[in-house]
Chain A
């Protein structure tokens, strides 16, 4: 700890580049957007309208219906990630970290590969696989005698969102896997050895020793998933287009924002309503992060080794 009484210039030097770039490119434009949501189209240019845009967004049925639909879909999108992606990620990490496992590096590298692919590739390939015309999925189900199970999942309103959420899970399961894997590896051997001395089997070791120790990592993964899901846009856009079909069944906040901001088909883009939606998204994300910071993270004890 450098506790000099002189001005410690080096702190400023260390902080300045990051703070300057971040403030100029991220924070100022963000406030520009929040500010934009308080204005509307006027005769000669933007006029200040206060919270009128938000009143329209939540009060006018044409807008509020679309908004609640997108928010509900987004919640479902998030729930699927929490229930499918993160448990699978933890399971894979736990298996990978078992001692003397051969080919662990291969598995880890391979399972992370979908995460590095662009949405352009992911959207296209899954549309191909699930397509009822060219699709590989109908053929494969046919081969095992389950052809009856096949449905054009991406084209049916009741399945499309779940199908896309699962595609997204497929793509991103590598992230929780890697983070949990790193957390599991950082548990000291003496802790595990002590558990073995006490006669705990692998199963009990995981639940009683390792899981409590990786809880902080699980907390971080949950909040990263939340933020990622509520910013999601690309996968829906490349797979279903800006209209998030069929019949807005896959519309989430990101696509709703995009349509409003930039316009689609005959509707012109409305930067002010777009900014209002962006501000609402900002509020939702802020709420989630606050819940995480104050309710969850403070209760997770940190273990120092």
Chain B
């Protein structure tokens, strides 16, 4: 092992082993998704007889997709999920970064206490307060609005965002900020023009971790916004599974359609995330 560095053959062997493990795990990770997607294009008989066979002319059937597109208002659900996720993400990132900056940059009385107070939310599931939240939304007339969901998800995402971002902001060099101050920049300009661009990698990380639970949440859409106009795609597909439990074509098509948008969102953000992580490491 000690000569591994110098022996090209052993290094090649290790690289093959690494690829073998990673490839195996990739297959395990993707297999279930693959099963859903291929079967959604097949006839009912083919789904049951040969679940692992890819779709081909003999077993091709789009009946699942036509059922879904006729039955459910999937486009509306999709728009609702998009609106809720993007708006919540925007507020979590903006408010979270601002608070993180205040906590990591300035010494003031109650700084540590405020940090602990905000970090408390990482461990408290916001669901424990559901009944009180519902009462509040009823009182405020926000039941069955997307605003209610955006408010809840913003509160839910903030603690982790503040925690991660303030860790990263501590590593931003003081010289840079002080140079900005000497140039007469206001604290706000320093935050928006100097610090924010530097913590973009951390913002991407926070974005991915914030976005996923919001997009996938079933609980709050069910309780706060179950109406037809405000249903999110996760709630929509859950209801759909309930209604069409024996119509496998339709259920598999609905699940495939529910996977696509979050996959696209993730792929967009993950490029930024990966660029960010690598940039952070090179620094």
Contact = CB atoms under 8 A, between A and B. Distances in A.
A116 B28 contact: no
A292 to B, nearest CB: 9
Interface in B133-163: 133, 135-136, 151-152, 154-156, 158-159, 162
Contacts of A105: 274
A196 interface: yes
Contacts of A296: none
B3 A201 contact: yes
A226 to B, nearest CB: 9
Given A113-B263, A116-B212, A286-B123, A121 B132 contact: no
B258 A234 contact: no
B62 interface: no
Contacts of B5: 196, 199, 201-202
A98 B108 CA distance: 43
A86 B94 CA distance: 31
Interface in B244-283: 251, 255, 258-259, 262-263, 266-267, 270, 273-274, 277-278, 280-281
A15 B121 CA distance: 15
Contact of A33 (B22, B98, B131, B152): B131
Nearest to B128: A278
Interface in A180-219: 181-182, 185-186, 196, 199-204
Contacts of A46: none
B35 to A, nearest CB: 6
A282 B120 CA distance: 11
Interface stretch (A53-61, A74-82, A123-131): A123-131
Interface string A1-32: 11100001011011101110110111111101
Interface centre among A14, A178, A196, A233 (most CB of B within 10 A): A14
User: Which interface class (under 10, 10 to 19, 20 to 34, 35 or more) fits B?
Assistant: 35 or more
Contacts of B95: 17-18, 21
Contacts of B131: 29, 32-33, 36, 261, 271, 274-275
Interface centre among B120, B123, B162 (most CB of A within 10 A): B123
Given A21-B91, A30-B124, A118 B258 contact: yes
B197 to A, nearest CB: 17
A109 B51 CA distance: 26
A87 to B, nearest CB: 13
Interface string B176-204: 00000100001110010000000000000
A231 B125 contact: yes
A25 B87 CA distance: 16
Interface stretch (A65-73, A89-97, A153-161, A243-251): A89-97
Contact of A11 (B102, B181, B205): B102
B56 interface: no
A201 B262 CA distance: 41
B1 A15 contact: no
Contacts of A98: 14-15, 18
Contacts of B218: 118-120, 234, 238
Nearest to B255: A121
A196 to B, nearest CB: 6
Contact of A120 (B2, B22, B52, B237): B237
B30 A14 contact: no
Secondary structure at chain A's binding surface: helix, strand, loop or mixed? helix
User: Which interface class (under 10, 10 to 19, 20 to 34, 35 or more) fits A?
Assistant: 35 or more
A114 interface: yes
A136 interface: yes
A200 B120 CA distance: 42
A227 interface: yes
A112 B266 contact: yes
Interface of A: 1-3, 8, 10-11, 13-15, 17-19, 21-22, 24-30, 32-33, 36, 88, 91-92, 95-96, 98, 100-103, 105-122, 124-126, 128-129, 134, 136, 139, 170, 173-175, 178, 181-182, 185-186, 196, 199-204, 223-224, 227, 231, 233-234, 238, 261, 271, 274-275, 278, 281-282, 285-286, 288-289
Top 5 nearest A-B pairs (CB, nearest first) are A29-B129, A32-B132, A29-B132, A25-B155, A118-B216
Interface of B: 1-5, 14-15, 18-19, 21-23, 25-26, 28-30, 32-33, 35-36, 48, 51-52, 91, 94-96, 98-99, 101-103, 105-108, 114, 117-118, 120-133, 135-136, 151-152, 154-156, 158-159, 162, 174, 181, 186-188, 191, 205, 208-209, 212, 215-216, 218-219, 234, 237-238, 241, 251, 255, 258-259, 262-263, 266-267, 270, 273-274, 277-278, 280-281
9 contacts: A2-B181, A30-B128, A113-B29, A116-B216, A121-B36, A125-B36, A174-B29, A196-B5, A204-B1
